[in-house]
Every structure is written in structure tokens, then in C-alpha cells.
Chain A
Amino acid sequence: MSSKTQILDFIRGRYPQAEIDESQDIFALGFVNSLFAMELVMFVEKTFGVTIPNEELRIDNFRTADAMSALVSRLSSDLAVA
């Protein structure tokens, strides 16, 4: 299962009433609060074995499943290089 699919499954699991695709801005839907943001970051770090540094905790990295998947790829490649 791709990282994008896993991220979408997590968001849909928390907000099953929302219709979300991989390019949809979840912030525009209006249900993202600091609690969900924390859960989302914990989910990404746990599921993909990465640590998101402070400088990557930017809204644009979390707007869409596409953006989060790209973040995971970037951090995973950093991990591989290290």
C-alpha cells in the first residue's frame, strides 16, 4: 500500500463523513484542529518510521495527501542517505 493511500485511509478513518481525495486541501474542509494535526504527525512518524523536523512542520507539507506523501519520500531518502 502506498504512503498516499495509507495517509488517506487514516484521514478518512477519522473523518468518514468527509469526501477526500489525494489532492484535496484538508485545511479547506475546515476540520483540522491542533489535536488532529498532532495525531496526523504522530501517524506519519510512526507509520513511515521518520521524524519530522521543526522546519518541515509547515502547512504546505500537510495540505494534501500528495504533499504528505512527498514529505515522507523526502524524509525517507534523507534517512537512507544518512
Chain B
Amino acid sequence: MFISIFGAIEAGVIYAIMALGVYLSFRVLDFPDLTVDGSFVTGAAVAAIAITNDVSTVLATTLALITGFIAGSVTGLLNTKGKINPLLSGILMMTALYSINLRIMGQSNIPLLNQSTVFTRLSEIWSGLGIDSALNQGLSAIGASSLPRTWSILIVMLVVTLVIKFITDYYLKTEVGLALRAAGDNEKMIRSFSANTDYLKIMGLGLSNGLVALSGALYAQYVGFADLNMGVGMIVVGLASVIIGESIVGTKSIMRTTFAVILGAILYRIVIALALRSTFLDANDTKLITSVLVILALVIPKLISTHKESKRKRRKRIALQQRAKGEV
């Protein structure tokens, strides 16, 4: 139980980078970008092929990020210069990327098990620090029986994800970032303040898919393979993270929303891990569970607020009736 939750949190923290990317396109630019299904795999593919060709792991991961940026920019070009509807631009790019990803990989699956990845390199450095044994001792002391193999992935990925979060927060408050947000909010207005909305959208989608590809590259190294189909339904996972997080944490400020998105990604993986432990669901049901989760996260908050509102109205009516009776 503890180990499977621990694994879910690890994967969730890696997925959170993808979710931050989806937040940039879906919320900030108001652009439901389906490119994500393709660019996640592109990131994984580029990193895998680079690593198996003995490129250093950090460089391989950076290359993945850059390729994702290019993929997203192309979607942006289709939408702004080609005047293609946002949804369709994303679908076209996602479809094209499927073939491109296969071209990059040359085969539909690349195993990375005996390769040195970001995480194997990390654990080499980590094991000398003695943090694992210290943390595990603490866990045994509070009675945990099965202990995680290493804390390095979780802690380091958490730091990386938080750094990306803070950079995103900062970026969205800069002059360029403000213009980017306005482009998603009121395009006509920001054009009247000398901002090139085409450029902003292309750049925004590039950044978004760059993060998605980075997440894909890290995930491939985490699970030890890159697979052509690992991105199927990824946009829904991203939306699930954004929507679940927002409905729990709220969207008062940007810092809070990006935090919500990260938490949403982790919660999503935990819920999936718990659901899969039940006897009647198996791994093939993940997509169904994901969709149901998104639907619940969309519907429940609305139901709650309508219920609250009608309760408030009923209370007022009753109060009015009682006052009327009192006067009679």
C-alpha cells in the first residue's frame, strides 16, 4: 500500500510538469491544445534515442524540451498564420506527431533499462549522502513495514517541479507574461496595446509543449522505456490535474493556481493507484477512471454551489414568511 502510493506520488510529481504545460495552454491562453498527446511522446522519444546514442542525460532531456517547444510552435503557427481552429490545429499536430515520433524512435518501443538515465545518475550521487537511510529509519520508527528503495527521485523531482512552478509564476508577471495572459483573455484589447498576439500564442504554445515534452522525457527515464503509445489520453490527464487541483485549492492568484495544478497531478496519480488496487478494475480501465474523475471534478463543485445557493434562497423565504406571520 505505502509503496504503491509512494510510486504514485513520484510519477505524479513528474506528471505535474506536463500539467503545468497544459495549464499554460488551456487556462492562460484559453487554447485547448491536443498537441500534448503527441509532444509528451516526442519528449520521451527524443530523450530515449539520445540516451541510447550515448548523449549525456542532461543534454538528452534538454533536447526533448526544445523539440517539444518546436512542436508546440507549429501548432501555434497553424492556428495564427494558417487561421485553423485551435482544436483542429492541435488534432492535426497530434496526428502528425504520431508518425514523427515513430520516425524518431525507429521502433515503437525503446527500452532504457540498462542505460544511464537522469535517475540512475542521480541515485549514484544520492547514495553517498545517506539521506535514504535516515528517512527510512524515521519511517520504520513510526511503524512502516515496506520501505521505498530511494527517496532521491521524489525529492529531486519535487525540487525541479517547484523550480519550474516558480519560474512560471515569475514569467506570468513579467511584461511579456502579462501580455501572454491578456492574449488569452482579451485579444482585441492587447492588440490595441501594441502586442503581437500571433507571436505570443506561438510562444505560449511552444513553452507549454516544451514543458510537456520535458515531462515525457523524465517519465520515460523514470519507467525505463519510451513507447509510441505512452501519450494517448495525456491531454485528459493534464486537464484532470488542472481541474481537480483548481477545484480543491482554488484560483485566487497565479501562485496558488500553479500550486493547485501540481497538487492535482499528484492527487490524480494517487486516485488512479488506489482505484487499481480494487479487485474489479485493472490497468486497462485507467482512461475510463480518468474521464470519470474529470467529469466529477467539473460537476461536483457546480452541484455544491447550486445546492448552497438554493439553500440560501429557501432560508430567506422562510425568514420572510415568519416575519409576515409575526406581523399579522
Specify whether A and B are partners: no
Interface residues of B (CB under 8 A from A): none
